[in-house]
């Protein structure tokens, strides 16, 4: 694991603008909010070459509940190399106000050499060899199925749904993506990946504090590495990044609940699709919504267009019983609202082009390993999961954000399985809000 902070520098067009460090920026803007003298006057009083005294005088407010000052540091960018896909998922789950990207499964090494050592991630010593064997077998299966599917797509290009007049390069890319996106369900969740995250110092402190409170050694190692790098950019606010009782207790309770649920529902059989959508359109009696719903949607030129208040005020919660971890990695990164999953294996998804019966031996061996880890109450069970593991997943937000996600995840270039899940959620949403249907652009996940 390697953490690298990226320091922003002003472009040539801003060469004459004031230069501030992240914490000095927070200091100056905090003073700005408590003064009517204007920014230029404040900057005249601050020694930009020796900012520590000014910073300490202002940022002490953080210790008295004024945490919003920590959000004034601007976006601190951290690149985190060589973490497991589980840890990448967890960071995005915690950092729900962050911007970020994770390496696609189309572009990272798919081999046992790209796994962390068992001791790094807390796999019990007596299970380490067994864990390594199951993971290596999963990679071998992935490679074999990728080769088979790629050959199939070469022999029968119609299965790829190639666009008309596609160039040879486009044909090659879409053919490979067809195979990659269907074979990926055998990829271990422990596989190393890379991610980049940008968020304020306030949110970094919260993220690192929660990572440091988790029972898994990889999470604690990441917390320490992130803290060391963030100290270069925001040394004072990182005082608030250490594990605390509330985070540790909630982490313990959530992990215990996941272990219990995981044991009761563990299965490698495919789990039939179920979707749940709850729409809340209530408004206060003294602030009723007057906008007709079509007026809130029909003026948008695309999913990036502005929705009206009739949509923005509508609350929507939606959930699936069987979201595969392959899809969870992306849907978990939608920032708005709150996302929740116990991260268990209640079933195992394979696309129609793959048959469970052809891989039952691997799936049984993997499920037995997961069961053993769960039976011991080991939080390291997460590293025994493959991306085909199906887990419940819930997201609560507002209707404008839900519609954006549904249009994005069914639109051009969307993964076929995203489209199935979001189309199901849209059907239930339209059943409850029928007047929205003519104005929502559900796609067909056609290749791009």
- 154 lies in the same domain as 27: no
Choose the final residue of a domain: 186, 207, 231.
186
**Residues 447, 419: Cα–Cα separation, whole Å:** 12
Query: For position 65, what pLDDT does the model report?
Result: 46
Q: For residue 40, is it within any domain?
A: yes
Residue 228 belongs to a domain: yes
424 vs 88, 97, 320, 428, 446, CA distance in Å? 27, 27, 9, 7, 17
Taking only the tens place, the pLDDT of each residue in 123-138 is 999 999 999 999 999 9
Quick one: tokens of 207?
Answer: 């993220």
Examine the pLDDT at 182 and tell me if it is beyond 80.
Answer: yes
| pLDDT score of 169 more than 90 | no
Does 21 reside within a domain?
yes
pLDDT tens digits for range 254-299: 999 999 999 999 999 999 999 999 999 999 999 999 999 999 999 9
Residue 74 lies in a domain: yes
404 and 288 within one domain: yes
Residue 277, in any domain of the structure: yes
Are 408 and 334 found together in one domain? yes
CB 444, CB 410: distance < 8 Å: yes
Do 69 and 166 sit in the same domain of this protein?
Answer: no
Shared domain for 75 and 7, answered yes or no, is yes
Phi, psi torsion values for 138, nearest 5 degrees: -65, -45
Q: How many angstroms separate the Cα of 29 from the Cα of each of 20, 41, 59?
A: 11, 12, 11
In-domain check, residue 89: no
Lowest mean pLDDT among 63-67, 94-98, 359-363: 63-67
Q: Looking at the 3D structure of the chain, how many domains does it have?
A: 3
Mean predicted confidence (pLDDT) in 341-345 = 97
What is the model's pLDDT at position 41? 78
> Same domain for 296 and 417?
yes
Last residue of a domain, one of 165, 186, 207: 186
**pLDDT value, residue 36:** 78
- pLDDT per residue as tens digits for the range 380-434: 999 999 999 999 999 999 999 999 999 999 988 888 898 999 999 999 999 999 9
Same domain assignment for residues 398 and 280: yes
- Residue range 17-70, pLDDT digits in tens: 888 888 878 777 777 777 777 888 777 777 766 667 666 665 554 444 455 666
Percentage of the chain modeled with pLDDT above 90: 66
Q: Are residues 228 and 282 located together in one domain of the fold?
A: no
**Quick one: pLDDT at residue 64?**
41
Per-chain mean pLDDT for the chain: 90
Cβ count within 10 A of residue 396: 18
The arithmetic mean of pLDDT across residues 353-361, rounded, is 96
Q: Are residues 280 and 415 in the same domain?
A: yes
Residues 139, 14 within the same domain: no
Q: Is residue 365 part of a domain?
A: no
* Residues 182, 197 within the same domain: no
Of 186, 207, 230, the domain-final residue:
186
Which residue range(s) make up the domain with 302?
252-349+388-439
- 413 assigned to some structural domain: yes
Return the CATH number at 307: 3.30.1360
pLDDT digits (tens, 9 = 90+) for 190-249: 999 999 999 988 899 999 999 999 999 999 999 999 999 999 988 888 888 999 999 999
What global pTM score does this model have?
Answer: 0.90
Residues in Cβ contact with 262 at an 8 Å cutoff, skipping those fewer than 6 apart: 342, 344, 345, 370, 374, 381
Of 93-107, 109-123, 199-213, give the lowest mean pLDDT range.
93-107
% residues pLDDT > 70 (the chain): 94
User: CA 184, CA 141: separation in Å to the nearest integer?
Assistant: 10
Is pLDDT larger for residue 249 or for residue 10?
Answer: 249
Q: Average of pLDDT values for 307-313?
A: 97
Residues 124 and 260 in one domain: no
């Amino acid at each position: 694991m390697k953490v690298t902070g990226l320091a922003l520098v002003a472009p040539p067009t801003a060469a004459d603008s004031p230069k501030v460090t992240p914490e000095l920026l927070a200091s100056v803007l905090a003073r700005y909010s408590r003064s009517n003298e204007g920014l230029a006057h404040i900057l005249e009083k601050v020694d930009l070459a020796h900012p520590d005294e000014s910073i300490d005088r202002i940022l002490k407010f953080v210790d008295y509940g004024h945490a919003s000052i920590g959000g004034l540091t601007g976006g601190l960018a951290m690149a985190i190399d060589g973490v497991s896909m589980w840890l990448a998922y967890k960071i995005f789950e915690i950092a729900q106000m962050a911007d970020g990207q994770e390496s696609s499964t189309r572009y990272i090494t798919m081999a046992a050499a790209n796994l962390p050592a068992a001791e790094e991630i807390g796999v019990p010593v007596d299970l380490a060899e067994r864990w390594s064997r199951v993971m290596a077998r999963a990679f071998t299966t992935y490679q074999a199925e990728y080769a088979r599917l790629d050959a199939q797509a070469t022999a029968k290009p119609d299965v790829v749904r190639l666009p008309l007049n596609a160039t040879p390069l486009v044909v090659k890319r879409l053919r490979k993506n067809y195979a990659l996106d269907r074979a990926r369900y055998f990829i271990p969740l422990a596989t190393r990946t890379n991610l980049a995250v940008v968020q304020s110092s306030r949110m970094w402190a919260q993220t690192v504090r929660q990572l440091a409170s988790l029972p898994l050694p990889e999470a604690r190692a990441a917390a320490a590495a992130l803290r060391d790098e963030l100290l270069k950019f925001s040394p004072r606010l990182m005082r608030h990044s250490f594990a605390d009782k509330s985070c540790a207790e909630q982490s313990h309770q959530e992990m215990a609940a996941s272990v219990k649920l995981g044991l009761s529902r563990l299965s490698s059989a495919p789990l039939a699709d179920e979707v749940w959508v709850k729409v809340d359109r209530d408004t206060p009696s003294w602030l009723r919504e007057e906008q007709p719903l079509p007026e809130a949607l029909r003026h948008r030129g695309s999913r990036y267009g502005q929705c009206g208040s009739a949509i923005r005020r509508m609350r929507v919660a939606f959930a699936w019983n069987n979201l595969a971890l392959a899809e969870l990695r992306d849907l978990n990164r939608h920032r708005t609202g709150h996302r929740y999953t116990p991260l268990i294996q209640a079933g195992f998804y394979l696309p129609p082009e793959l048959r469970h019966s052809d891989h039952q031996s691997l799936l049984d061996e993997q499920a037995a390993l997961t069961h053993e880890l769960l039976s011991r109450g080991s939080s390291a069970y997460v590293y025994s999961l493959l991306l085909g593991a199906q887990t419940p997943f819930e997201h609560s937000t507002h209707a404008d954000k839900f519609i954006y996600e549904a249009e994005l995840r069914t639109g051009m270039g969307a993964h076929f399985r995203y489209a199935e899940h979001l189309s199901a959620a849209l059907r239930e949403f339209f059943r409850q809000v029928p007047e929205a249907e003519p104005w929502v652009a559900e796609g067909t996940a056609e290749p791009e």
